[in-house]
Amino acid sequence: MKLEIRDGCFGYPKQKQILYKINLCAESGDLIAILGPNGAGKTTLLRCMLGFLKWNSGETLLDQKNLKQIPAKTIWKQIAYVPQAKNFNSAFRAEEAVLLGRNAHLGMFSQPKQSDLQLVHDIMNRLNILYLADKSCCEMSGGELQMVLIARALITEPNILVLDEPESNLDFRNQLIILETMTELTRQGITCIFNTHYPDHALRRSNKALLLNKNGTAQFGNTSEIITPEQIQNAFQVKTIIHKIKNQDQTYYSILPLELADVPTGGKLSC
């Protein structure tokens, strides 16, 4: 399963261009991080990619086929979307919320079947959140809710998982749980694409990265080629150094922000 963006351009009507000629290519087993400063349009990029917003020009292709030409139910059996947890405010219990994910597999008037309920159980077990089953979503911590939303996405048995800032607002441990879950999924051949505020996470986990600049352009490629001090300074206007740490024969990379850099002048481009 291959998901591609070709020359995607987007701007809201009567406003400046937000995204300018974005290219991205995700293949089976890829873990792709999308990075960029606040307001650069990371969430907008995900929304355009998934067809919630229409590209002004350019297109999203799923296995070489334009997303617009594929019926919604077919798309959402292949792709699953995990929205930002802070926007979820329904008082469903965890297992009810997870069960909602089966919707793409059910008809308008049908009720979930025994096999669907078994799946809820299996997925929650796999993610080690079975203990949450009876808890109300509005009483959960951020980490718990995020795991429930991932479970809801995985229950559609997708090939591609798209996550909007899955590890924001979480503590150390919960961030690791989410990142570890994503890494594990990619090992099983599921493509993961996620928005993040942490270049560290991209360096550690992702094999490809997309770096959005303030002017709407973006670089896409292998993480090691994209996340460099020069490109980071260009996108975030922050001077950084990438640190190499050796621990028990393993090498880790960490990125350390040093100081603010000068902000270049010049506005967004237009298509």
Among 10, 20, 55, 76, contact with another protein (rule: CB under 8 A) = 76
- For 180, half-sphere exposure in the C-beta direction (CA atoms, 13 angstrom radius) is 10
Binding segment for another protein (CB under 8 A), chosen from 55-63, 98-106, 165-173, 196-204, is 98-106
Judged by beta carbon, residue 35 or residue 104, the one nearer another protein is 104
What is the b/e burial string over 51-86, where b = at least 16 CB atoms within 10 angstroms of the residue's CB?
bebebbebebbbeeeebeebeeeebbebbbbbbbbe
Binding segment for another protein (CB under 8 A), chosen from 34-42, 59-67, 91-99, 257-265, is 91-99
- Is residue 241 close enough to count as binding another protein by CB under 8 A? no
Cβ distance 94 to 137 under 8 Å? yes
- Is residue 121 close enough to count as binding another protein by CB under 8 A? yes
The CA–CA distances, whole Å, from 115 to 78, 102, 111, 147, 169 equal: 19, 11, 11, 22, 34
Binding segment for another protein (CB under 8 A), chosen from 23-31, 101-109, 173-181, 207-215, is 101-109
Among 16, 65, 68, 73, contact with another protein (rule: CB under 8 A) = 73
Please tell me whether residue 261 adopts helix, strand or coil conformation. Answer: coil
Dist CA 265 CA 117 (whole Å): 56
Least Å distance between CB 207 and another protein?
25
Binding segment for another protein (CB under 8 A), chosen from 67-75, 225-233, 245-253, 254-262, is 67-75
Among 133, 242, 261, 271, contact with another protein (rule: CB under 8 A) = 133
Least Å distance between CB 271 and another protein?
22
What is the DSSP track for 87-103?
Answer: G-----BHHHHHHHGGG
Least Å distance between CB 57 and another protein?
20
Rg of the chain (C-alpha set): 19
- Is residue 248 close enough to count as binding another protein by CB under 8 A? no
Dist CA 164 CA 162 (whole Å): 7
Among 2, 47, 135, 239, contact with another protein (rule: CB under 8 A) = 47
Give, as ranges, the residues between 147 and 206 that touch another protein (CB under 8 A): 156
Dist CA 6 CA 238 (whole Å): 29
Phi, psi for residue 231 in degrees, rounded to 5: -70, -35
Dist CA 215 CA 267 (whole Å): 6
Binding residues for another protein, per CB under 8 A? 47, 50, 52, 72-73, 75-77, 79-81, 83, 87-93, 95-96, 99-101, 103-106, 108-112, 114, 117-118, 120-121, 130-131, 133, 136, 138, 156
